[in-house]
Structure formats: structure tokens, C-alpha cells
């Protein structure tokens, strides 16, 4: 793989290809690889910018819907959605968001490490886990690991939409309402900055509100036609927006990680080319010296 | 100057409009509503249709929404617009598809991506067609 080109293993490799021609072909092959990694780096950089914009664009919606939910939590409505009520956990639902493609450094592996350690902790407490997978990398990983995968969405592309997530989220919400799972968690990479992506596993259902916050007065909405369908629709959209936000954040993380990984690969290829060039020059010089000494030796013999 | 209030129209994918208005019309589930300042708090679902925002200088702006939620507070109105066409059976088809995809992935030894994708696209298209038909029927009645 491109990013595993490393300078340390060089001397060994070179010992077996002292021929100047072999070194030359090696150099040109590395140059080709370098061109590819450079191109991938630039593509990732421009995609990252777009992904970041998308991440910012999804923020107003989640802020607005969160403030409505906060009102609801305080308003003592006549109907309380199950997603707002805590119950003892026996089985946990987990949505894992990964990338569809590789070549993005340790991004997915770091996330899977965090997820598996959390899952081990849950298993230790006697809790079972149902998985929903977004992104084909997580699908392959948890299939091999033998997780209980109930639904999946892959190939979301560079501009994922909420409508591609409705199905997977609904599977989990239905399971929650039918009490097949008692909690729902979301795992994805949080975009801290270009250099840092932090894997996080957090609970999204039941909704954790700041309950202790005291309101001066209590009021409730009028609901049209009725509180149940309205609150149901609101909470479904809230969970969907959380998952969507996770997806776009993961996408920004993916592009940032790929950009950094490809930059490292390009740099490593450059180092490798420099060292090989030096060895090539030495080999060439040695060949010329040998030729001259042969000629001189020949002339002396005559 | 007439009384105004703040209007936010947002979808999950982008902010659509944010500003002040003297009156807002929205296609609520129980019929179109006109909202003026100091309306009592109300929460309702929206049907696909047009949201009209009348600004300070009596200019009207139109926004199409394919459904969503409307939250009203005395001095702030929020339209949480859907980006996708939502109907119950459409959601169910999507959920089924997500389940099937997982089953297929687990069953397939070497995942045949193109086949899976084609299948997914087909069932999506079928489900969408059904939703559009339903909406049309509703509009005609």
C-alpha cells in the first residue's frame, strides 16, 4: 500500500538490485506511485472542504430541533414518547458509522477499537448488542467479528442525504419502541480538526436532557391534530438528524484522514526517490570507475 | 412599523431562510395556517406545499417544503422542513431495504456490489413511485 513506503527497509532492498538499470526502473515506478498519492491528496483536500461545509450546514436544523425537544421535556405534555423515558437495559442497539473506502490511515481501525472495547464492557455486564452498519468498512469488520447485524446502509457517496438513512434509523427506532432494544448508541469519528479525528460512542436514545434545569414557569404547546403523531414525527426526525450529522462528520473526518495519509505517502515516496537516486549515482560512478581502470589496465598490459 | 417576529426555515441538510416577518403562511396538516406575532405555542406537522413569508415591506417569499414540522412560539416560528418525501409505507420500504441489505451482506461470501446496488435502486424507485401516486390521489380528492 502506498502509505507503507518506508525508508528504513531500504538498504536491504537495494543490496539485491545494485544494477543501475534496475534502480532506474524502481525510481520511475515510485514516481508513478507518488503522482497517484499526490492526486489523491488534492482530491481529498477539496472534498474535505465540501464535507466541512455540509457539516456546518446541518447544524442549524439540529440546534432548532434540540431546542424544541428541550421545551417538550420541560412542558409536561400529556403524551411522553418512549424515547424520553429511561428503562433498565438488557439489550443495546448500536449504529456504527464508518467509511466506504479505505486508504484513510487508521481512521476506521481506531473507531472499531473504541467500539469493540465498549462492546466488551457491555458483554461483561450481561448486555447483548444489535448492530446497524453505515459504510461498507464496518460491514466487513463486524461480519468477520461475528456481530449481530440487523440493518445496513452503504455507498452513501460524497453527498449523503437524510433519505438514505431513514430506513436504517427506522429499524432501530422500531426495535426500541417494541422494546427489543432498551438503549441506542451512535459510534462515529468526530471531526476535531484536519489532523485529529476522535472516535466517539454516545447514547442517543433515551434522550439525555438536562433535567435538573428549572424553568420559571411551565407551558405546553398546542398540538395539531394530536400530541402523539406530532411528538413521534419530531423525535424520529431528531434521531435522524443526529445520525445524519454523524454521517457528515464522519465523511469530513474520512477526507481529512485520507488527505493526511496521502500527504505522508507522498513525502515518503519523495524520501525514497532521493535515497535511490543517490544509490543510483554511486552505482553509475562505480561502473565508470571500473571501466576506466579496466581500460588503463588493458593499456598497461599492451 | 408593524409588529414582526423571527422566522427560521431549516432542513437537515441546509439552512433555507432566516429573518423577520410580519406574517407566515404554512400548509399545516389540518389546513393552511396564517401566523401573526404573539401566536400561542403550537406544534404541528406540515403537508407538502408552500410556505409563504411576508416580510416588513409587504414582500412575499415562497418556499416549497415536502413536509416537515412547524413550531410556533410567540416571537419565533421554526419550520423544520423535510428533504425527503415522507410517507409511512415509503419509510417502511426503506427500513425493509436496510434489513435486507444487512442479510444479503451476511449471506454473500463475496459481496456482489453492483447487483446489490441495482436491487436497492430498483426498490427505492418503486417505493418512490408509489408515494408519488398516493400524493397525487390525495391532491385530486
Return the sign of the alpha-carbon dihedral for residues A228, A229, A233, A236.
Answer: positive
| Same domain for B115 and B62 | no
Tell whether B99 and B133 lie within a shared domain. Answer: yes
> Could you tell me if B73 and B33 lie in one domain?
yes
Tally of domains in chain B: 2
pLDDT at A217 over 70: no
Single out the residue in B65, B87, B109 at which a domain terminates. Answer: B87
Shared domain check, B16 and B80: yes
Measured between CB atoms, does A79 come within 8 Å of chain B? no
Which residues of chain B make contact with A222, given a CB cutoff of 8 A?
40-43
Pick the residue with more confidence: A235 or A9? A235
- Supply φ then ψ for residue A119, to 5 degrees: -65, -40
B70 and B43 inside one domain: yes
| Contact state of A161 with B83 under an 8 Å Cβ cutoff | yes
Q: How far apart are CA B48 and CA B71, in angstroms?
A: 16
Please indicate, yes or no, whether residues B117 and B68 belong to a single structural domain of this protein.
no
> What number is the average pLDDT over the span A37-58?
93
pLDDT at A58 over 60: yes
Q: What angle do CA A83, A200, A109 make, to 5 degrees?
A: 130
CB contact under 8 A, A151 and B91: no
Closest residue of chain B to A229, computed from CA coordinates: B45
The partner residue sitting opposite B15, judged by closest CB among A54, A60, A143, is A60
- Residue B65 has a CB neighbour count (10 Å cut-off) of 23
Shortest distance between the Cα of B109 and any Cα of chain A, in A, equals 11
Q: Are residues B104 and B81 in the same domain?
A: no
Give the CATH number of the domain where residue B104 resides: 1.20.5.440
Same domain, yes or no: B75 and B104: no
Domain range for B109 is 90-139
- Whether B63 and B96 map to the same domain: the answer is no
Task: Give helix B88-107 / helix A136-145 axis angle, nearest 10°.
Answer: 50
Give the residue from B56, B71, B87 where a domain finishes.
Answer: B87
Q: Do A163 and B45 touch (CB under 8 A)?
A: no
pTM score of the predicted model = 0.81
d(CA A58, CA A165): 15
ipTM associated with this complex: 0.75
Shared domain for B104 and B57, answered yes or no, is: no
Shared domain for B60 and B83, answered yes or no, is yes
**In angstroms, rounded to a whole number, what is the distance separating the alpha carbons of residues A225 and A46?**
46
How many angstroms separate the CA of residue B60 from the nearest CA in chain A? 23
**Do B65 and B111 sit in the same domain of this protein?**
no
Distance separating alpha carbons of residues A225 and A223, to the nearest angstrom: 6
pLDDT averaged over consecutive 10-residue blocks of chain B (141 residues)? 86 88 92 91 90 88 89 91 75 81 74 58 80 82 71
Cell numbers that stand for B29 in this block: 396538516
CB pair distance less than 8 Å for A163 and B85: yes
Above 80 in pLDDT, residue A7?
no
Which has more confidence, A122 or A225?
A122
CATH code of residue B33: 2.60.15.10
pLDDT at res. A110: 95
Digit-coded pLDDT (tens) for A237-293:
999 999 999 999 999 999 999 999 999 999 999 999 999 999 999 999 998 999 999
Q: CA of B90, closest CA in chain A: separation in Å?
A: 9
Tell me if chain B has a CB within 8 Å of the CB of A221.
yes
Amino acid at each position: 500500500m502506498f502509505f507503507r513506503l518506508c525508508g528504513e527497509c531500504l538498504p536491504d532492498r537495494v543490496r539485491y538490485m545494485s544494477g543501475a538499470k534496475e534502480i532506474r526502473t524502481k525510481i520511475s515506478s515510485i514516481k508513478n506511485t507518488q503522482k497517484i498519492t499526490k492526486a489523491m491528496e488534492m482530491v481529498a483536500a477539496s472534498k474535505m472542504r465540501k464535507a466541512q461545509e455540509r457539516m456546518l450546514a446541518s447544524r442549524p436544523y439540529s440546534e432548532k430541533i434540540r431546542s424544541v425537544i428541550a421545551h417538550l421535556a420541560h412542558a409536561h405534555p400529556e403524551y411522553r414518547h418512549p424515547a424520553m423515558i429511561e428503562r433498565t437495559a438488557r439489550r443495546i442497539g448500536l449504529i456504527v458509522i464508518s467509511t466506504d473506502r479505505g486508504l484513510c490511515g487508521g481512521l476506521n481501525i481506531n473507531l472499531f477499537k473504541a467500539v469493540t472495547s465498549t462492546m466488551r464492557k457491555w458483554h461483561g455486564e450481561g448486555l447483548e448488542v444489535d448492530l446497524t452498519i453505515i459504510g461498507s468498512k464496518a460491514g466487513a469488520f463486524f461480519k468477520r467479528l461475528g456481530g449481530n447485524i440487523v440493518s445496513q446502509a452503504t455507498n452513501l457517496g460524497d453527498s449523503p442525504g437524510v433519505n438514505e438513512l431513514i430506513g436504517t434509523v427506522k429499524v432501530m427506532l422500531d426495535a426500541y419502541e417494541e422494546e427489543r432494544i432498551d438503549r441506542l448508541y451512535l459510534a462515529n469519528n468526530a471531526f476535531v480538526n484536519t489532523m485529529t479525528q476522535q472516535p466517539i460512542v454516545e447514547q442517543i436514545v433515551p434522550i439525555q436532557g438536562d433535567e435538573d434545569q428549572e424553568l420559571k414557569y411551565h407551558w405546553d404547546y398546542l398540538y395539531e391534530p394530536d400530541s402523539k403523531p406530532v411528538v413521534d414525527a419530531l423525535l424520529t426526525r431528531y434521531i435522524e438528524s443526529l445520525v445524519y450529522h454523524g454521517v457528515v462528520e464522519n465523511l469530513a473526518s474520512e477526507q481529512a484522514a485520507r488527505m493526511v495519509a496521502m500527504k505522508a505517502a507522498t513525502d515518503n515516496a519523495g524520501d525514497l526517490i532521493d535515497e535511490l537516486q543517490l544509490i543510483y549515482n554511486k552505482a553509475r560512478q562505480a561502473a565508470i570507475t571500473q571501466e576506466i581502470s579496466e581500460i588503463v589496465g588493458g593499456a598497461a598490459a599492451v | 412599523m408593524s409588529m414582526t417576529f423571527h422566522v427560521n426555515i431549516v432542513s437537515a441538510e441546509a439552512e433555507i431562510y432566516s429573518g423577520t416577518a410580519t406574517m407566515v403562511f404554512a400548509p399545516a396538516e389540518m389546513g393552511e395556517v396564517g401566523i401573526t406575532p404573539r401566536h400561542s405555542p403550537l406544534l404541528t406537522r406540515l403537508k407538502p406545499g408552500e410556505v409563504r413569508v411576508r416580510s416588513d415591506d409587504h414582500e412575499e417569499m415562497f418556499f416549497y417544503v415536502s413536509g416537515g414540522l412547524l413550531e410556533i412560539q410567540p416571537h419565533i416560528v421554526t419550520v423544520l422542513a423535510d428533504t425527503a418525501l415522507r410517507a409511512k409505507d415509503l419509510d417502511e420500504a426503506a427500513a425493509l431495504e436496510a434489513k435486507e441489505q444487512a442479510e444479503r451482506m451476511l449471506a454473500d461470501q463475496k459481496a456482489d456490489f453492483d447487483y446489490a446496488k441495482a436491487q436497492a435502486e430498483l426498490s427505492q424507485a418503486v417505493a418512490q413511485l408509489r408515494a408519488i401516486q398516493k400524493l397525487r390521489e390525495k391532491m385530486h380528492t
